[in-house]
Amino acid sequence: MLNEEKAVVVFSGGQDSTTCLFWALKNFQEVQAVTFDYGQRHRKEIEVAKTIAHDLGVKHTVLDMSLLNQLAPNALTRKEIEIEQKEGELPTTFVDGRNLLFLSFAAVLAKQSGARHIITGVCETDFSGYPDCRDVFIKSLNVTLNLAMDYEFVIHTPLMWLNKAQTWELADQLGALEYVRENTLTCYNGIMADGCGHCPACKLRKRGLDEYLSKKNGGSK
């Protein structure tokens, strides 16, 4: 049954957030998307998000978060920083405070729009050790936001316990597998769809897709 309340999706135009956008459209009557411009090295990410929102008929807001690049230089915003992960350290793609800030600003937007529900594509199963993708962080922040604004937010994380193959499966169940595969941007090198095939994001995406398609095709014989 469709929830008649409003929802806001934290939206980057990538595989995970686009799957979450389709999930939100299936579960909520009124959905809007918010994208954050934090100086990411590939401006195409924002354009892709705008295009997808337009395709799906979703109101879309882009918020300026360039201060994040000033505070926390990282491989997603600085071309001179290599994408790598040394043993015992977080990947250079980790942006300190990103999900904390994104969800906080999304909550302000949601309250101003009369929405209680916030959807984000964070995941603890296939993540790279990012502390702000953990379920305990999301639950803690949900309580903090409710107290900070005296408002009953509900943060939804449809992908929290799914691996990448299961995320592709969810997209398929939502009737969006081909759309997500062909129209999203996950690649750290800014190449749409299947991407460069070499960066960590592309490898994870491809491995999950191959696993899901193998399971799907094997099960249909």
Binding residues for Zn(2+): 187, 196, 199, 202
* Residue 134 neighbours by CB distance under 10 Å: 17
d(CA 103, CA 18): 17
d(CA 185, CA 200): 13
Binding residues: 11-21, 187, 196, 199, 202
**Helix runs in the chain, H state only:** 15-27, 44-55, 67-71, 98-112, 135-149, 164-173, 177-183, 200-219
> Coil, strand, or helix at residue 174?
coil
Binding residues for ATP: 11-21
Report the DSSP beta bridge partners of residue 63.
Answer: 36
C-alpha angle 188-206-179 in degrees, rounded to nearest 5: 85
